Amino acid sequence: MSADNSSNGHSSSNETIPYTPVAGQREAAAERRKGYPYRFPRDPRLLGGKFTVAENGRRLLRFFYFERRLMQALGAWTLSIPEFEVKLETGRHIFYHADAARLLRERLSEQEMRLKDIDAFHDAEIDGFFDELLSAGHAPELLVGMHQVIGRALATVYRHHIDDTCPVTDVPTIRCLRRILTDYEPMLEWADAAIAAYVEGGVEESPLAAWRWHLQRLLASIGGVTGSDPRGEAPSPLRTTSKPFARGTVPLRDVRFDTFKSTGDYDVADGQERFPKDSYEALRLRFIRTQRDEVDAIEAFGTFIWDIRFKDFQAEYDLARITWDEARHTEIGHRALLAAGYDPFELRNRLTGSTCRGPMEPAFAMAEINLFGEVGVLKTINQLIDAAASRNDELLRHVSDFIRADERTHVRKGGKIIQVMTDLSAKDLELRTRELFTECLVSLGAVKKDMDVFTVSREDIEHLVGE
Ligand SMILES: [Fe+2]
Ligand SMILES: [Fe+2]
């Protein structure tokens, strides 16, 4: 309210609400203010912004959709990234995008939108962009597209949105975007360093630059992240025109790994026992190796996100969180092997489970890793933690304590995820899963088929495939 208005008691013509004083009130307020001694910090935010609720919602919905598609797209590539460090980091990034999508979805539900409609939203142009992004030829190209093109574009748009929206009326959106950027900053920084590492290690730089340019033009052709930028012409030809994207089915490892898939048993794979079977030392090493080899669980849960995409947001979100947890378990295993005196790469890496799960329908692969694998871990981990504590083995006690908490959480979430994946009864699901794994384990030579009618037990699967 301006001083001019108050002096004559009338509003100027462009004020929508006229100032109408009641005699004495303003003077009384000024008098009361004199008795208030506190000078609290001034809040400098100014009222006003560029967006209506409808336009805010339109933009946030696109942000949500990009984040959801990024989570799914990285999931689709988890099997196909060979480099250990990149696979691990990608497991973490999947969750960053999932969590960004969750925050945006929640804010959208406060901006006149229903969760049902938010979850059902699709955009064919954005889908086309992701199809091309997914057609990366190898992991360095994947990082270029996911981080240097779309990741960076999103971070820029989020910062602009923070600047452009009203800092008073729409502060929940600002807080939401700031929290997302907290994850983006280290993620994009890591990606730049990782791409530089690929180039320094011999990956040709020029094709990466060409791919970056190609995707940037494609993004510009759909009006950028917001859809409101001036549209450029789409690049041609697109890779997806000649070859539509299909996710990989084979788990890849980098050259430092010595892998095996013809057995699930580490001693058989090594050709000898390091410690007497069932001794504490044997169980301890097996546990730590299994954690490191949960690099295959990043692949399993990441792939499920892709395979069940758009069926149920909560299931995608829970899978993304489990994917990150499994990346942590892998890191825990790697570090624990170092602390136990090993070069983690001297220990052969088990690919048995991931090889079977890779091409499988998600319900059966999920039943194996969750209902057999993770439930199986919980059957023995209490004893292991107690044995570690009584031996003063602080390394094993520490890591297995946290892993137990994680795996209990995975088992709890798993039940709901499986319901999204299949209508089969628990009994039918278990039987069909055992049949499929018997077939796969026989084909790998991990079990011998000695009868006409033969299906491995769930205990065998727990032992052979692990988790
Ligand atoms: Fe795990
Ligand atoms: Fe797990």
Torsion of CA 157, 77, 101, 178, to 10 degrees: -50
What is the distance in A from the centroid of ligand 2 to the CA of 65?
27
Please check whether residue 66 is in contact with residue 150, taking contact to mean a CB–CB distance below 8 angstroms: yes
Report which bound ligand comes closest to the CA of 290. Answer: 1
Token pair in block for residue 311: 């069926």
CA 401 / ligand 1 centre spacing (Å): 12
pLDDT tens, per residue, the chain with 467 residues: 344 444 444 545 666 889 999 999 999 999 999 999 999 999 999 999 999 999 999 999 999 999 999 999 999 999 999 999 999 999 999 999 999 999 999 999 999 999 999 999 999 999 999 999 999 999 999 999 999 999 999 999 999 999 999 999 999 999 999 999 999 999 999 999 999 999 999 999 999 999 999 999 999 999 999 999 999 999 999 999 999 999 999 999 999 999 999 998 999 999 999 999 999 999 999 999 999 999 999 999 999 999 999 999 999 999 999 999 999 999 999 999 999 999 999 999 999 999 999 999 999 999 999 999 999 899 999 999 999 999 999 999 999 999 999 999 999 999 999 999 999 999 999 999 999 999 999 999 988 876 555 788 888 887 777 66
The alpha carbon of 265 and the centre of ligand 2 are apart by a number of angstroms equal to 19
Burial of 162 (0-12, 13-18, 19+ CB in 10 A): middle
Q: Is 453 helix (H, G, I), strand (E, B) or coil?
A: coil
Model confidence pLDDT, tens digit, residues 250-277: 999 999 999 999 998 999 999 999 999 9
Q: How far is the CA of 294 from the centre of ligand 2 (A)?
A: 8
Find where tokens 């999931």 sit. Answer: 75
The H or E element containing residue 352 is helix 352-357
Kindly give the distance from the C-alpha atom of residue 133 to the centroid of ligand 1, in angstroms, as a whole number: 29
Distance between CA atoms of 106 and 57, rounded to whole angstroms? 11
Q: What are the structure tokens assigned to 280, written together?
A: 């504490």
346 neighbors 427 (Cβ within 8 angstroms):
no
Distance, in Å, from the CA atom of 137 to the CA atom of 179, rounded to the nearest integer, reads 32
Query: What is the pTM assigned to this prediction?
Result: 0.94
18 three-class SS = coil
Task: Kindly report, residue by residue over 4-32, the tens digit of the pLDDT.
Answer: 444 444 545 666 889 999 999 999 999 99
- Between CA 356 and CA 406 the distance in angstroms is 24
* Residue 417 contacts residue 307 (beta carbons within 8 Å): no
Are 101 and 64 in contact, with CB atoms under 8 Å apart?
A: yes
- Determine how many CB atoms are found less than 10 A away from the CB of residue 91: 31
* Residue with token string 């410690």: 275
Task: Decide if 446 contacts 263 (C-beta within 8 A).
Answer: yes
Ligand 2 center from residue 291 Cα (angstroms): 10
The three-state secondary structure class of 401 is helix
Q: What is the Å distance from ligand 1's center to 364 Cα?
A: 18
Cα–Cα separations (whole angstroms), residue 402 to 153, 361, 444? 36, 30, 33
Helix or strand run (H / E) with residue 259: strand 259-260
Residue environment code for 447-458, b if the CB has 16+ CB neighbours within 10 A, otherwise e: beeeeeeebbeb
